[in-house]
Structure 1
């Protein structure tokens, strides 16, 4: 019998969405955030924005707990994730894109994430080069900026981070603060690999790569989780009960 890998949740080209209080076991990403693929996503132009993800427990042995892209050509903006538990997963937070995607992933905020037994805590790649067809624009470069991770702990991790931007189109504004990653006994000798990225860090163990220099807590304001709430957070979910008299 063939098995099909499916997401836990897919948020695609939507505004004001809330995913919360869930236990997810997935053969693919636990939460996949998307907005269209290559020239079709660019033409449709409907971003995913104002997305709240909180209080999740996720198991995803072959993929990410939270994945942004790779279909992100319509744009992804203002994603807020907090209070996440990740267990036995390939990566905690993953950003996937490629030349030809266009679009953007920006203003991403993740805090209070606990990770246990991970291949990577953080993974960003600009080399996810699958395409819908050969009609994509090779000059359509994605914009990845203002990516914020803070207040996280992880244990039994093979590699802390694999951060790979695009040559000539670096990922910028990456901010990582107050993160402690305990490496596995058979971890990679180099815990961080970074190419074509730019950002800062504060109080991160093991020490990040040189492209994320230590700035100190007094300069780390860019990592601050937004204080203002989104409209979706004020909506009260109505519940009802039903009983049947036999």
Structure 2
């Protein structure tokens, strides 16, 4: 089982932007899609579009993690905070996924402007928190399964706001997979 099918970070002090990943099948992986960074990395991940992804037998479908605390040496500046913004997932489908989404932003490194559109991922077993978010701002457009976290605004297929999120800082991350 591989660690991740598609991964950005953690080393990205200059930044990663304007990337499109499309028409990908990921199977037998711990994570299908992963963006990882931490305080001290600096830089940014922005304007990344994932389209037409299929997951089959993965532990976690989509991971955005801002506390990946590995550094090449002790000389890093912990005040250099990366930015994660403008990440879009369109047409994500699959079967056999334990946790479809785990987005773990923080107060110092929030995840901003993330969008999910047309997502249906079959889960391996029923868990309480299978779409997990912490310090995330973004939106759901149209139908998304399983039920997304409460951090995200809901829009219908035509782009009309249906429900504004209660809080973007809600934390419901669980690591018991």
Aligned to 1:67: 7
The Cα shift of 1:196 comes to: 1.0
- The separation in 1 between residues aligned to 2:153 and 2:60, in whole angstroms, is 20
Aligned to 1:10: none
Alignment of structure 1 residues 105-184 onto 2, 5 Å: 105-184=45-124
Q: 2:38 aligns with which of 88, 95, 98?
A: 98
Q: Which residues of structure 1 form unaligned runs of 5+? A: 1-60, 221-246
When Rg is computed on C-alpha atoms for both structures, the one with the higher figure is 1
Moved over 4 A (4+): none
Greater per-residue helix proportion: 1
Greater per-residue strand proportion: 2
- The separation in 1 between residues aligned to 2:159 and 2:39, in whole angstroms, is 32
Alignment of structure 1 residues 193-232 onto 2, 5 Å: 193-202=132-141, 203-219=143-159
Aligned to 1:39: none
The Cα shift of 1:67 comes to: 0.3
In the comparison of the two structures, how many residue pairs are matched?
A: 159
- The separation in 1 between residues aligned to 2:158 and 2:4, in whole angstroms, is 32
Q: 1:192 aligns with which of 113, 120, 131?
A: 131
Give yes or no for the alignment of 1:85 onto 2:19.
no
CA contact (8 A) 2:91 2:119 kept: yes
The structure, 1 or 2, with the larger RCO (C-alpha pairs under 8 Å, 6+ apart) is: 2
Q: Secondary structure at the match of 1:130?
A: coil
Q: Secondary structure at the match of 1:63?
A: strand
Q: Which residues of structure 2 form unaligned runs of 5+? A: 161-177
- The separation in 2 between residues aligned to 1:169 and 1:65, in whole angstroms, is 24
